[in-house]
């Protein structure tokens, strides 16, 4: 089909906008025009963060719809955000699609929705538009979501998604165990918001039954058991957004690229890269302990300290810290992370184990120091340290603090471990093979493009009105 036009809709958070933007570029390179739907709030952030010399590629059109929250409301309150999304965005999306489709030459060919916006696939199906659901999280989490009914049936969860008792669950004998305490919807807020988050994510998963294609941003070899559990989901990753050279990547904070020239001056494999994604928040005490750990490591480091990284009004460093480390430490507000991880000076990645960060480290063969914060990050940490064995886990002391001695000790241990380094490089090779022409992820994506372009018309086999809330 000539002039394919995809409407791409990410969940409105940094770790979702970036991979969905990358997917949009991949589609664009295959001749698609893209309408990228972003909330008004995030659009303002992305445009403010865009470098002066950068730009939006003409093939990717950003359009906004409101998320239903007031400008000053806390969007890190995920329960509230999801409630609001559900209240206003399905109608907003439907109106947007109708408006676009009024024009004969520009109608939407397919909708590509983040799994956390699964309701969008249903909106599209109702309008006769084919849809793809994309898991921007590990396939392991996708498998858990698809098995929620079974977990309820087996008495592990109650109907509201709360574990009947705390235990380790394994969906298959080869899958790493997952503590029920770390289930996605239990990681934030009080019981009321946990219940509503469970209903939101479970609803999104069920709504994806209206999708024609199911994809995940990972690759088969790193999670074979999870793909085997839900065979309809196909890997298309790792999606990488770091090669855009000033074009829109979807960053919420302005990138400080001066760190790249600083990295150029450092010896190969000498710098510890420290970054905790977009969501992690430290208390002041842990923040200072981390600073002191980096200081006593006696190594060079590049540390991303977002303006809102701590729960204090200021990110307060220990007295004299910045002066003492000035000759070997760089601290910046937001990095061009993928370029940093691809830099030969990087020795290891001290990370919160967000899925994008995990995929980016894996794709560059960088060993990990794992410091998970919430949600799927505990599962990702188990992959890194226990399954793939390409990193080490930071362990808190009896007061729940990861001490400066633990930080220094784990850095030394990791950098002295040639086995970890060798396995990291092997994983990089497999990741790259998957997305190179002829690789499995490449082929899955290619089949998707071809099936859209062949223009086969969707047969809608739904009865009655679609109402995703009633699923």
- CB of 345 vs ligand UDP, minimal distance in Å: 16
Q: Are 203 and 196 in contact (CB under 8 A)?
A: no
- CB of 218 vs ligand UDP, minimal distance in Å: 12
- CB of 112 vs ligand UDP, minimal distance in Å: 18
- Rounded Cα gap, residues 471 and 434, in angstroms: 35
- CB of 462 vs ligand UDP, minimal distance in Å: 33
Nearest to 342 by CA among 260, 277, 219: 260
Point out which residues pair with 34 in neighbouring strands.
6, 60
- CB of 438 vs ligand UDP, minimal distance in Å: 26
Cβ-based neighbours of 95, under 8 Å, separated by 6 or more: none
Number of CB atoms found within 10 A of residue 177's CB: 12
Residue number with CB closer to ligand UDP (161 or 277): 277
- Rounded Cα gap, residues 377 and 381, in angstroms: 6
Residue number with CB closer to ligand UDP (275 or 390): 275
Residue number with CB closer to ligand UDP (90 or 361): 361
Residue number with CB closer to ligand UDP (125 or 216): 216
Number of CB atoms found within 10 A of residue 225's CB: 17
Strand order in the sheet with 329-332: 329-332, 300-304, 271-275, 346-351, 368-370, 391-393
The helix (run of H) or strand (run of E) holding residue 39 is: strand 33-39
Q: Are 362 and 434 in contact (CB under 8 A)?
A: no
- ω into 411 cis (within 30 of 0): no
- CB of 163 vs ligand UDP, minimal distance in Å: 24
Cβ-based neighbours of 254, under 8 Å, separated by 6 or more: 48, 49, 50, 51, 333, 334
Please tell me the total number of residues recorded for the chain in this structure: 471
- CB of 379 vs ligand UDP, minimal distance in Å: 13
What interhelical angle do 191-207 and 78-101 show, nearest 10? 30
Q: Residue with structure tokens 């092997």?
A: 426
Strand, coil or helix: 223: coil
DSSP string, 325-338: HTTTEEEESS--HH
Nearest to 17 by CA among 70, 60, 71: 60
Residue number with CB closer to ligand UDP (116 or 452): 116
Positions in the binding site for ligand UDP (CB under 6 A): 14-15, 18, 251, 275, 277-279, 304, 334-335, 337-338, 354-357, 360
Residue number with CB closer to ligand UDP (300 or 357): 357
Residue number with CB closer to ligand UDP (289 or 360): 360
Cβ-based neighbours of 340, under 8 Å, separated by 6 or more: 259, 260, 263, 273, 302, 346
Tokens, residue 356: 């994008």
Residue number with CB closer to ligand UDP (109 or 338): 338
- CB of 337 vs ligand UDP, minimal distance in Å: 3
Residue number with CB closer to ligand UDP (108 or 370): 370
Strand, coil or helix: 401: coil
- CB of 357 vs ligand UDP, minimal distance in Å: 3
Tokens, residue 38: 């972003």
- CB of 278 vs ligand UDP, minimal distance in Å: 3
Give strand ranges (E) for 191-325: 213-216, 233-235, 271-275, 300-304
Residue number with CB closer to ligand UDP (286 or 356): 356
Residue number with CB closer to ligand UDP (97 or 271): 271
- CB of 256 vs ligand UDP, minimal distance in Å: 8
The helix (run of H) or strand (run of E) holding residue 234 is: strand 233-235
- CB of 458 vs ligand UDP, minimal distance in Å: 32
Residue number with CB closer to ligand UDP (109 or 286): 286
């Amino acid at each position: 089909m000539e002039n394919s036009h995809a409407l791409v809709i990410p969940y409105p958070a940094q770790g979702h906008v970036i991979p969905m933007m990358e997917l949009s570029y991949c589609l664009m390179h295959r001749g698609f025009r893209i309408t990228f739907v972003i909330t008004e709030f995030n659009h303002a952030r992305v445009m403010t963060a865009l470098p002066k010399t950068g730009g939006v590629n003409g093939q990717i059109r950003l359009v906004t719809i409101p998320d239903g929250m007031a400008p000053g409301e806390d969007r890190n309150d995920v329960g509230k955000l999801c409630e609001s999304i559900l209240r206003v965005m399905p109608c907003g999306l439907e109106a947007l699609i109708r408006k676009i489709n009024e024009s004969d030459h520009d109608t939407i060919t397919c909708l590509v929705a983040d799994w956390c916006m699964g309701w969008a696939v249903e909106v599209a199906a109702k309008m006769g538009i084919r849809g793809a659901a994309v898991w921007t999280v590990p396939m392991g989490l996708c498998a858990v979501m698809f098995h929620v009914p079974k977990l309820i049936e087996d008495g592990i969860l109650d109907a509201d998604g709360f574990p009947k008792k705390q235990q380790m669950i394994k969906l298959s004998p080869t899958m790493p165990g997952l503590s029920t305490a770390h289930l996605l919807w239990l990681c934030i807020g009080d019981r009321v918001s946990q219940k509503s988050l469970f209903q939101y994510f479970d609803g999104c998963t069920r709504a994806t039954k209206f999708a024609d294609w199911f994809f995940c941003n990972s690759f088969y070899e790193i999670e074979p058991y999870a793909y085997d559990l839900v065979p309809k989901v196909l890997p298309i990753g790792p999606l990488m957004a770091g090669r855009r050279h000033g074009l829109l990547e979807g960053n919420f904070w302005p990138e400080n690229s001066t760190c790249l020239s600083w990295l150029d001056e450092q010896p190969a494999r000498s710098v510890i890269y420290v970054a905790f994604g977009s969501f992690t928040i430290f208390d002041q005490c842990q923040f200072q302990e981390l600073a002191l750990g980096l200081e006593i490591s006696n190594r060079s480091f590049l540390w991303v300290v977002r303006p809102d990284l701590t729960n204090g009004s200021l990110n307060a460093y220990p007295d004299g810290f910045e002066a003492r480390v000035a000759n070997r430490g760089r601290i910046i507000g937001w990095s061009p992370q993928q370029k940093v991880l691809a830099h030969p000076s990087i020795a290891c990645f001290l990370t919160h184990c967000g899925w994008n960060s995990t995929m980016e480290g894996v794709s560059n063969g960088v060993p990990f120091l794992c410091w998970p914060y919430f949600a799927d990050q505990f599962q990702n940490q188990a992959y890194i340290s226990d399954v793939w064995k390409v990193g080490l886990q930071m362990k808190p002391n009896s007061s729940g603090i990861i001490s400066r001695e633990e930080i220094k000790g784990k850095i030394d241990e990791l950098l002295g471990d040639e086995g970890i380094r060798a396995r990291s490089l092997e994983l990089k090779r497999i990741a790259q093979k998957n997305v190179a022409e002829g690789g499995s992820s490449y082929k899955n994506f290619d089949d998707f493009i071809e099936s859209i372009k062949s223009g086969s018309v969707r047969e809608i086999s739904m009865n009655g009105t679609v109402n995703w809330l009633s699923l």
